[in-house]
Each structure stands twice: as structure tokens, then as C-alpha cells.
Amino acid sequence: MTLTDLLEDRGVSFLLFGGKGGVGKTSCSAASALWAAEHGKETLIISTDPAHSLSDSFDQQIGGEIKKVEGCSGLSALELDPRKAFEEYRKKLSETENFEEQAQSVLRELGDLSSMTPPGTDEAIAFAKVLEFIENPEYDLVVFDTAPTGHTLRLLSLPDILNSWVVNLIKIRVYMSKLTGLFKRLIGRGDEEDRTLDVLEKLKETIGVAKETLKDPNETAFVIVMIPEVMAIYETERLLSSLIEYEIPCDHIIVNMIYPDVPNCPFCRARRQMQQENLKDIREIYDDFNITEVPLFETEIRGIDKLRKLSEILFT
Ligand SMILES: Nc1ncnc2c1ncn2[C@@H]1O[C@H](COP(=O)(O)OP(=O)(O)OP(=O)(O)O)[C@@H](O)[C@H]1O
Ligand SMILES: [Mg+2]
């Protein structure tokens, strides 16, 4: 199954690109989003990397609000700004009746759970955005340009961490409402309902749906980007074992920046030979993966025209 089949036949809705720093994740995700949009899919590309580079890649200002990409109708882009997204959530939630009060009590409970490691805010916000798009699918395809491996793995482990958090909160909440119910009955206000529990139950349900969506090969695909160098092979091994642990479907690898055969250039020949040897190992180790090989371009890949050129290589 090629990358084209992945989008056209399998028709996944979420495409994540990940791998070691600097191997071409942003370029490959931008080129793929462009290809999908130019093949009739309403597409959104989101950068979850706090060090955003979608603006550099598309050579136009993107930023923290969803924006149409100039030069490609059907493609929108967003560079997630955790602080801004957090404020948006706060605002939205504070419009919910009584929310501040409920949030305070949840936060107090969270304080009591300090033995559990809270996830990083950046990843939590990025994950909340993922939840949003899973809940309200406005796009045919959402492409995620992720940060280098470590950050992305924390993002992908969030459903489990959050789930255990929420389950614990629910337990505590049930216990507390029994106590407060008793107290309220004592002071004659026994029929007030506990909405915090509803909020938590809803959150648990949403996280459950997100977990299932991330595991479903008809919905989600994780594409690993690497270069033909030994360090990248090691990192790919680590990334893959985590993806297996989280049951995230991954059967595509892009090997990027392959040196072309340049006559009369001993330096180029040496590098090419080193890469070709590693490439042989990669083909052998990952023989049940679909491998797409991408040559090193003469220039960096910036702007729609260059990205289109890359997409032609990825999707032929
Ligand atoms: N095949 C290629 N040929 C030439 N230049 C490339 C190729 N692929 C990527 N580049 C260039 O390499 C640099 C790094 O690429 P990119 O930003 O896509 O990597 P990344 O994995 O997203 O990096 P980071 O880990 O910093 O997010 C960019 O300048 C990009 O234009
Ligand atoms: Mg990047």
C-alpha cells in the first residue's frame, strides 16, 4: 500500500508525521497536506511542535488561528499556540454555568493527586485540539506535523495518562458527593445535582473515543520520517516500539535526503555509499513496511512550488 492508497483507498482522516529532529517531518507533512488538498480533500495541517516551522515551510505567515493557505484552495493550517488555546478553553468553559466553582473543586482534587505526574501543558493542549477535531470532524483530512520523537511520544501517551486521571477523579468525586450529599441533606439542600461528575464522565467518554480513533487503521496513520543514517535507525526503533505499545497504526516509512549519484565528487560519492549501505539495512529491517525514498534536493524545500515537487515524489 503506497501513501496514495493510504489517502485514497484506506481514506484515513488523521495523518501524523514523526521522527528524529531535522529529518524532514515538516516538509513531508506540508507536502502531503498540499497533495490531499489538491486532490479534492478539505485538509487541515496542524503543527504540534512548540518550535513551529509551518510558516517557514509554506513561506507565508500561519500562526495560532486556522488560516487558509495562499496558493492552495482547500488547505488550511494552524500552528498551535498552547497558551492561546488554553485561554480559549478557559473562556469556553467559564461560559458553562457554575463552571469556575466546579473547576475549583476539580483543581483542589487534582492537588490531592500530586503523586501522579501531570502531563506537560503543551502536549495536553495539543491533545485537547486532537480531541476537538475527532469530536467535530470538519475536515476530510487532518495532518499533524509533530515535534521530534520525545515530545510526540508524550503526546501519544496522554490518552492513557488522562484516562487514569479522570477515572481517579470520578472515584474521588463520587466519594465527595456522598459526603456533600449527606451534608446538603443535613442543611436541607439535598436535590442540587452534581454537574462536575457529568463533565468528568463526558471527558472520559471523549478520551475513550479518541483512543479508539487513534488505534483504528481506517482512521489514523502514523508515518515515520527518517534519513539513511545509523542514528536515525536507532531512533526509529524506539519510536516504533512506542507506537506498537500505544497500538497506533504505522506501516509507512519515508527515507528522506538520499544523496544522488554525482560524478566527479569524491565527497558526494562517500556519503552516497554510506547512505546506500544503511538504506539496504533499512529495506531489510522494515521489509513489511511501505518505504518511500526521497532524494536530497539541491535547495531547501520552501514554498508551495517546492512542496508540490516533493509531493509528486511522495505520491507517485
Ligand atoms: N529532501 C530534501 N532535500 C533538501 N532539503 C530538505 C529535504 N527535506 C527537508 N529538507 C530541508 O531540511 C530542513 C529540515 O526539514 P524539516 O523542517 O522538514 O525537518 P523537521 O524534521 O520538521 O525538523 P524539526 O525536527 O526541526 O521539526 C529544511 O530546511 C528543509 O527545507
Ligand atoms: Mg518540523
Mutate-to-test residue for ligand 1 from 20, 301, 302, 308, highest number of ligand atoms within 8 A of CB: 301
Nearest CA to ligand 1 atom 26: 22
d(CA 161, CA 157): 7
pLDDT of res. 160: 72
Using a CB cutoff of 5 Å, list residues around ligand 2, an ion. Answer: 25-26, 53
Ligand 1: which residue has its CA nearest to atom 2?
296
> Which pLDDT band holds residue 217 (cuts at 50, 70, 90)?
very high
Homologous superfamily of domain range 3-314: P-loop containing nucleotide triphosphate hydrolases (3.40.50.300)
Query: Mean pLDDT throughout 176-193?
Result: 61
Mean pLDDT (the chain) is 83
Greater confidence (118 vs 74) lies with: 74
pLDDT recorded at residue 190:
54
With beta carbons less than 8 A apart as the criterion, state whether 253 and 25 touch: no
What is the reported pLDDT for 114? 41
Provide the pLDDT for residue 124.
Answer: 65
Q: How many CB atoms lie within 10 A of CB 262?
A: 12
The share of the chain scoring above pLDDT 90, in percent, equals: 53
Q: Report, as an integer, the average pLDDT of 281-308.
A: 97
Ligand 1 atom index nearest CA of 30: 18
Percent of the chain surpassing pLDDT 70:
74
Q: Whose CA is nearest to atom 9 of ligand 1?
A: 24
What is the 20 CA–ligand 2 centroid distance (Å)? Answer: 9
User: Ligand 1 mean position to 266 CA, how many Å?
Assistant: 24
Q: What is the pLDDT of residues 79-109, one digit of tens each?
A: 987 677 666 666 665 565 555 565 555 555 5
Per-residue pLDDT, 73: 92
How much is the pLDDT for 129? 72
Mutate which of 26, 223, 226, 231 for ligand 1 pocket (most atoms within 8 A of beta carbon): 26
124 in Cβ contact with 195 (< 8 Å): no
pLDDT value, residue 224: 96
**pLDDT value, residue 253:** 98
> Can you give the residue ranges of every domain in the chain?
3-314
Residue 58 has pLDDT above 50, yes or no: yes
Instruction: Find the residues whose C-beta lies inside 6 A of ligand 1.
Output: 21-27, 49, 53, 148, 256-257, 294, 296-297, 300-302
Residues facing 79 on adjacent strands: 47
Distance from Cα 155 to the centre of ligand 1, integer Å: 22
Q: How far is the CA of 234 from the centre of ligand 2 (A)?
A: 19
